[in-house]
Amino acid sequence: MEDLVVGPGLVIPENELSVSTSRSGGPGGQHVNTTATRVTLRWNVRTTQALDPARRDRLIARLAGRVTADGDVLVHVSSSRSQSQNRAEALERLAEIVRKAMVERKKRKPTRPSRGARERRLREKKQHSGRKAARRGPSSDEG
């Protein structure tokens, strides 16, 4: 295994990644009962040296649902009958998860509705209330 290149400026060192294998579940007959093709990739976000503290905190916050109590991000892959293919897919999935979590969201610039938009909204509200008023019969308090 080699260092995992996530993107420009972010490379996860090989020694921080831990790979374990186990027997894959599901159909497969005798093959699935004898070979350990399921791959579990583990990377500890809290102790990594690949990120500076600010990026590490942002990554932990964004991946809160995926990070274990120990600070590990786990990726399980058992889609292929080949352990090496599952390992490659697990590495790619981890890179994609980290890549997506590191994207900084743009700040929303507060805007105001245009004059035309306000006028359209009020005109539509008036039409809607007119339709509802037409459905009501004449009021009975006249007499």
Residue 140 has pLDDT above 80, yes or no: no
The full set of domains in the chain, from first to last, is: 4-102 (3.30.160.20)
Tell me what the mean pLDDT of segment 58-72 comes to: 88
Is the pTM of the predicted complex or chain greater than 0.85?
A: no
Q: Which residue has the higher pLDDT, 26 or 120?
A: 120
Query: C-alpha distances in angstroms, 102 versus 47, 56, 61, 89, 108?
Result: 17, 9, 11, 20, 18
What would the pLDDT profile of 79-98 be if each residue is shown by its tens digit?
888 888 999 999 999 999 98
Residues for the chain: how many in total?
143
Summarize the confidence of residues 45-73 as an average pLDDT. Answer: 88
What confidence score (pLDDT) does residue 55 get? Answer: 87
Q: Is the pLDDT of residue 138 over 80?
A: no
Q: Check if the beta carbon of residue 71 is closer than 8 Å to that of residue 44.
A: yes
